[in-house]
Amino acid sequence: AVAVAATPEWPGPVFLRGLLSGIRCGVVAIDRKGALVLINRHGCEILGFDESPPEGTPFDRALADHPKLVRVLREAFDLANLPNRSELDLGPRRREGTRIGFTVSHVQGDDGEIAGAAVFFKDLTRIERSEEQKRLKDRLAALGGMAARLAHEVRNPLASIEVTCGLLRRRLSDNPDGQQLVDRITDEVRRLNTTVTTSLEFVKPVASDLQPGELMPLLNESIRVAEGRHAGGTIFITRRCEVPPFRMDPDQLRQVFENLLINATEAAADPGLVEVEIERVPAPARASDHDAWGEFEELVVVRVSDDGPGIPEEVRERIFHPFFTTKSQGSGVGLSTVKKIVDSHGGLIDVDRSSLGGARFTVRLPMIFEKTTEVEGQHR
């Protein structure tokens, strides 16, 4: 007699829900009537939900903050060829925006008919931002080479003009009016030379020397420098937390916070008030995947607020653009360099209105720690 193997029992709903909950991508499933069946844990994290909306909720109501995703699911029942490895930008629920890659699939019932639809998606935001940073780095490298050659060609005649002005000034020792005109030429030459230098500094790619460093000492030193530059300003740390050492370039981050704090003290009222807040927050869902910056579970957030006039909403989008400035004597390089440094650390910088009435700059940095390794020979 030939033994016939028993047909294994099909897993029950508890097993299937556990499987979908643990899968390393987001899943949203709806039935044929448009009722929500489930949003798994990873999907909730990407979409910004603390918990999944109740089962049976109309899916367009449950996903009201993500109209593009609603449209994808709505069209799933009318398409013969479903989207596969497509991409879209989610709605404005996430401030910095979220781009996902997704695949749509029909769910068949026991009768073979289409009983529902599911979309499987992955957060591509960090991958896309890393690729954009690489493209920007390549463009800046090419621009840096061109700027260096241009700076050399401009600086040589500027130096010659300045030397000539010095000789001419000596010959006009008995002509004060002539000396004043020569001094004006010299001042303009030096200003132009400074512009060339700052422009050259900006187009140089940022090379961060990442190493374990402590945030609080460099923040305290930045506060000391900013208060020294503007004696009338007062800087308070209104919220702080324990921040263990993480991978950073301390010199570059000190430059970031010195720039933000000096700008804040200059913009603040007289006498001015500047507040600094430090906190740790969980990383977005996308940070749980291994990427170019390493693995991290938390972000450290530093906010710098002032009680000045603030930054008009119509110029906020351009505030980090190179050579854009709202100051009469500004070069427009400071904040663009700040953004370059934050980007090189895999972080984000943002600006909005503070509760003090002025501007609030928010810096978010991934807390990436040195990987610990076992002592060599420990198991030998």
Domain interval for residue 266: 211-366
The two structure tokens encoding residue 202: 């900006």
pLDDT tier at 279, thresholds 50, 70, 90: very high
Mean pLDDT of the chain: 79
Across the range 14-25, mean pLDDT stands at 73
Radius of gyration (C-alpha) of the chain in whole angstroms? 29
Residue 311: the pLDDT is 86
Last residue of a domain, one of 58, 91, 123: 123
Residue 345: the pLDDT is 87
pLDDT at residue 9 is higher than 60: no
Residue 264 Cα distances to 171, 240, 270, 315, angstroms: 46, 19, 12, 17
DSSP per position, 71-105: HHHHHTTT-SS---SEEEE--TTSTT--EEEEEEE
pLDDT tier at 57, thresholds 50, 70, 90: very high
Does residue 159 sit within a domain?
yes
CATH number for the domain that contains residue 316 = 3.30.565.10
Residues 234 and 339 in one domain: yes
Last residue of a domain, one of 149, 169, 203: 203
CATH number for the domain that contains residue 41 = 3.30.450.20
Per the document, the length of the chain is: 380
Last residue of a domain, one of 123, 158, 174: 123
Give tens-digit pLDDT for 100-127.
888 998 988 888 888 899 999 988 776 6
The DSSP bridge partners found for residue 356 are: none
Residues 360 and 223 in one domain: yes
Total of domains in the chain: 3
DSSP per position, 293-360: TB--SEEEEEEEEESS----HHHHTTTTSTT--SSTT--S-HHHHHHHHHHHTT-EEEEEE-TTSSEE
Residues 29 and 159 in one domain: no
Residue 303: the pLDDT is 95
Residues 90 and 133 in one domain: no
Residues 183 and 283 in one domain: no
Residues 216 and 343 in one domain: yes
Give tens-digit pLDDT for 230-260.
766 678 888 888 899 999 999 999 999 999 9
Residue 254: the pLDDT is 93
**What is the value of pTM for the model shown?**
0.52
pLDDT tier at 305, thresholds 50, 70, 90: very high
